[in-house]
Structure 1
Amino acid sequence: MIPHCLLLESKNTKPIADLLKEISYTFERVNQFEEISKTLEQGKFHFLIFHANDLINENDPKKLSELTTDFPQTLIILITDTSQWDLTASLLKRHSVYDFIQTPVDADLLKFTLDRSFLYLSTKLKSQFLNDAENNLYKRMVEIFDWKKSISHKENENIAADIIHQMNINLFQGSGIGTLMSVVSILISKSKLDQEEKNYTIPKPVMDLLSENYEAAKSMFDSMSISQSIIDDEGKVNRKESPTKLLPIIESELKNLSEALSIKAQKINLSQIPISAAGKKIWLDETKLSYVIREVLLNAIKYSKEQDIIYLIFFQKENFLELKVINPAYQNDDGTNGIPEKFESFVFEPFFRISSVVDDSYAKFEQFRFGLGLPLVKKIMDQHQANVQIYNIENNFRNENTNDICLTIRFPLLEEEN
């Protein structure tokens, strides 16, 4: 994944903006220190980058400490020179900044520092998630071994049920293998041998049911084949195309999903690609991106409700083209809404599910299954040297005081070759 940066723009950081473009990292700019907090609230950034000489006010170092507390998923990288060693040491000591880069900065040094910091950030977020999971497991164990409960053994029975439930979700729930096995059982019990004991007769409803679930099971195996091909493919996309090639891919998938949209009478609003991006290039593999578009659209469709509108909006920002897929956020099984912040990076982990409910109405449209959809989306976007994130945003489309889920894909824009 390419880190997404927020740059405090000044004459001191102008070379950094050029270097970020050179290494194809996506970034946005703010002009004033006071704008940083508001911008971090509106989007998701891995890094905040600024120059030590741009800390003008006495309260700026204190505000940095507040930013690290308020936005723990954003690391602060300081650009400094030999005249600012005291300030740099002080900020590092107080953990107001995570790392620093001494001028003059070149592309290799910047990329090395950001890559190393991003690895730390990813590890930190994963360790926090694992700690939460371990704490929940510990509480569960305490409950299990509570002597009052151990007498009845009810909790132990629940654990076995939970394990079976998870297996059922990942492999057997809904149409497909599980139902096919059930239908075969019905087929065996309902078929009748003729008097000559040479042929079996099968009731038409049973045969129809068998055919329907055979197709569902075949679709499941096809999905496994596609998933395996993507998992095994380690190559980067090396074909450059105009961003305008994205529109026919999206329109084709919208046509493929028209029946899925009709299930809950939903609509999709698609914007045009900004004219300013049309003269650029992006890395583009049409087949792989069709998988991505199908998955993110289908997720938005499945987790939206009756007559909801899903927005697909293109923006050009700095050195990248951004595609946002926006749909309403609803309550999850645990009472949270949409994508809880602590899960934003873990929805891209294999088999991770926020909701255990599987809606079988959409099974025939799925190309990825078993909790592999978003992990494979991330894999494909990595191959495109692009970035994908998902998070909650405030509702700015429906004039309601609610949240939306926003999945954002960022394609670095490449200059046309002469």
Structure 2
Amino acid sequence: MSKKRPLLIVESDAGYLQTLQRQLADEPYALTATTSADDALSAFAKIQHEVVLLGANLAGDLTALQVCQRLFEGDIAPIVLMLVGTDKAELIIEAHRIGVIDFIVPGIDAAEFIQVVERAFARAEAEAVGRAAERDRRRHIEKQLASRRVAEQLLRRQNDKFARALFGNIHTSFTQGRGIGSLTTLLAMLAGSPTTPDGQNYLIPKEILDLIFSNQSAVGDMIDMFSELQLLVSQDFVLHDVTVGELHAIARNLVYELKPQIDIRGHSVVLNDIPARQAGGKLKVNWEFMRKALKELVLNALKFSPVGSTVMILTEHLQTRVLVTVCNLPEGNGADGVMGIPEEQRALIFEPFFRVSRVVHEQYSTLEYGLGLTFVEKIVQMHHGNIRCTTLNDFERQDMAGTEMIAMEIELPI
């Protein structure tokens, strides 16, 4: 049973405070409720609540804005939702400026109120993953600098292993699932089909023809993939000025586009929020190819994560660069015994035809030729960026402690 997540409510109106508590009583939150700003700050110092519901009119010496500033002073700031009337325009503007993400007005529908709180916890989780990502990046950089020589020796040993596996992976890519292998088998089956009395035509069952058409379509998709790779390296790659906020919008729109695939195994996809002060940062992006790269990464995350789990897309503006990270929990041992991406193979997964798992996921109607990550890497390189596979762990949520996620990080220059 997962641990209830801490939620702090600060409201000087005792009656309204009790109403809020009743509305949240059946939700998976550990409530701390108080009418005092000082008591609220003391409680937050002990528990570090992920989300705070803060009344706009507080009794005592501290105003709501001053309480916000105190809450935001620590290393890990909570998600603050302010309880405020629509007549407090100046307060709303100032609260939003210092970091309040949403506002709840009196009389809000109970179901809508619960949804606002749930979204706040989703944002808190995404921010926790972002912080974990930054810590892990530092840890990985330090580890890489300290062990570069060992890594080079390991890579040389892996080259032999990669060479042995390469042709096996190519064979798997072209023979399993929809595509060339199935099409070849179906065409061979036609040789034994009956003919018309005059022997001039074959009598072919509709089911066989439907399968042929389906596999012909898959082969066409494969040819399109090769054509796009060729186009990518041969044409002038046009980059446009976009903001960090617009890059984040590509990911957000992609979630709507991929909803049918997200629903196949009951997944959910969560995006972090971009602070207003960071959303205006400029970088160079080819819209269409970046969308294709992110789509490939999200589909990979959906295919190789547990049923009903959450895939996260994090966009971060870090001084001279922008990071876009797609991360997911690794699926348990599958049919071929592979779980996640072994560390010794993370430098190889971007090689053409290299596949960690030979399991085919036909329900996603994607190509299974071991070229997807090669395509993504080439797109990122054309943006003068880098992509790496790493892991995220050390979550701040206690019910996720020790959990390790697979993360694909795209780093783009500002």
Q: Which residue of 1 aligns with 2:267?
A: 266
Report the alpha carbon displacement of residue 45 of structure 1 after superposing the two structures with TM. 7.0
**Aligned residue pair count:** 279
Q: Which residue of 1 aligns with 2:383?
A: 384
Q: Which residue of 2 aligns with 1:141?
A: none
Q: Determine if contact 2:322/2:411 at 8 Å carries over to the other structure.
A: yes
Q: TM-score, normalised by structure 2?
A: 0.59
C-alpha change, 1:376 and 1:125, in structure 2 (3 Å) is: farther
Q: Determine if contact 1:193/1:201 at 8 Å carries over to the other structure.
A: yes
Q: Determine if contact 2:384/2:412 at 8 Å carries over to the other structure.
A: yes
Find 1:171's aligned residue among 168, 171, 174.
Answer: 174
Report the alpha carbon displacement of residue 224 of structure 1 after superposing the two structures with TM. 1.8
Q: Which residue of 1 aligns with 2:240?
A: 239
Q: Which residue of 2 aligns with 1:42?
A: 136
Q: Relative CO higher for 1 or 2, CA cutoff 8 Å, sep ≥ 6? A: 1
**1:138-287 residue pairs with structure 2 within 5 A?**
165-190=168-193, 192-233=194-235, 237-287=238-288
* Pairwise CA RMSD: 3.3
Q: Determine if contact 2:254/2:291 at 8 Å carries over to the other structure.
A: yes
Deviations 1:171-214 (A, max 9, x none): 22111111111122223323x32224444332222222222222
Q: TM-score, normalised by structure 1?
A: 0.58
**Does 1:348 find its partner at 2:350?**
yes
**Does 1:372 find its partner at 2:371?**
yes
Equivalent position amino acid for 1:293 in 2: L
C-alpha change, 1:207 and 1:43, in structure 2 (3 Å) is: same
- Cα distance in 1 between the residues matched to 2:394 and 2:182: 40
- Cα distance in 1 between the residues matched to 2:319 and 2:285: 19
- Cα distance in 2 between the residues matched to 1:241 and 1:315: 15
Deviations 1:80-123 (A, max 9, x none): xxxxxxxxxxxxxxxxxxxxxxxxxxxxxxxxxxxxxxxxx6x9
C-alpha change, 1:386 and 1:274, in structure 2 (3 Å) is: farther
Equivalent position amino acid for 2:370 in 1: G
C-alpha change, 1:124 and 1:172, in structure 2 (3 Å) is: same
Report the alpha carbon displacement of residue 268 of structure 1 after superposing the two structures with TM. 0.8
Could you tell me which runs of 5 or more consecutive residues in structure 1 were left unpaired when the two chains were aligned.
1-37, 48-66, 77-120, 138-158, 414-418
The more displaced of 397-406 and 375-384 is 397-406
Equivalent position amino acid for 2:145 in 1: T
**2:409 is paired with a residue of what secondary structure?**
strand
- Cα distance in 2 between the residues matched to 1:176 and 1:357: 15
Find 1:338's aligned residue among 340, 355, 358.
Answer: 340
Equivalent position amino acid for 2:243 in 1: S
Q: Determine if contact 2:169/2:354 at 8 Å carries over to the other structure.
A: no
Q: Which residue of 2 aligns with 1:21?
A: none
- Cα distance in 2 between the residues matched to 1:46 and 1:311: 20
Q: Which residue of 2 aligns with 1:13?
A: none
Q: Which residue of 1 aligns with 2:67?
A: none
Q: Determine if contact 2:386/2:412 at 8 Å carries over to the other structure.
A: yes
Q: Determine if contact 1:271/1:312 at 8 Å carries over to the other structure.
A: yes
Q: What percentage of aligned pairs have identical amino acids?
A: 25
**2:407 is paired with a residue of what secondary structure?**
strand
- Cα distance in 2 between the residues matched to 1:336 and 1:219: 27
- Cα distance in 2 between the residues matched to 1:132 and 1:198: 56
